[in-house]
Amino acid sequence: MEGSALLVLPVVLLVGLATILRLDAAKGEDFGPVGGMNRLRHGYLELTPELEPYFVTAHYDDETSVKQSYGMGARMSLSRVLAGAPNLVAAINILTIGVFAALVAVTLRASDQVALIVGALTALVALTALVAVVAVVAVVGLGALAIHSIRTTRRIFRPRFPR
C-alpha cells in the first residue's frame, strides 16, 4: 500500500505546483474580459449618461480602472491572503510532503510514532522552507513575473476610453 502511495504522491505534488502556476496565469488572462466589461459600461454611459449612479464598478478601461473592477484595488487582508486558491493549494502540497515523508519512514520500517514525527517535522520544515523561498521568490521572481504580465497585458490591451 505504501509503495503505490509513494509513486502517486510526487505526481500529486507536481499537479499542485502546476495548479499554482495555472492560477497565476489565469489571473492575468482575466484582465482582458474585465477591461471589456468596463468598455461596455463606458458605451452604455455614452448612450445614456443618467445610468452612471447604477454602476458599481469602473467604466474606464485604463489599468487602474480595470484593476478596480477586478477587485485588485481592494485592501489586502489576512483572510483574503489565506483564502486565496494558490495558498490553499500550497497548504495541501505541504501536507502531501509530510505524508510522503511519513510513508517513506514506514517503508523503512520506522514505528508509527516515528513516522508521525518524521511526517510532522518534514511538513514543518517544508512550511518553513516555503516561507523562506516565498519571501525570496516574492521579491525577485514574482516581481519579474508581474512586470512581464503587465507588459504583455499592456501590449495586448490598449485603452480606448481612458480617464
Q: What is the pLDDT of residues 10-32, one digit of tens each?
A: 999 999 989 988 988 887 788 88
The CA distances from residue 46 to 20, 43, 55, 110, 116, in Å, are: 40, 5, 13, 72, 65
Distance CA 94, CA 79 (A): 19
Is the confidence at residue 151, as pLDDT, over 70?
A: yes
Lowest mean pLDDT across 59-68, 101-110, 126-135: 126-135
Question: What phi and psi, each to the nearest 5 degrees, are found at residue 62?
Answer: -75, 165
What was the pLDDT predicted at 52? 92
Residue pair 135/160 in contact (Cβ under 8 Å)? The answer is: no
What confidence tier does 125 reach under pLDDT thresholds 50, 70, 90?
Answer: confident
Task: Residue 70: count other Cβ atoms within 10 Å of its Cβ.
Answer: 19
Is the confidence at residue 1, as pLDDT, over 80?
A: no
- Give the residue, 46 or 78, on which the prediction is more confident: 46
Packing angle of the helix pair 31-47, 2-29 (nearest 10 deg) = 30
DSSP character at residue 27: H
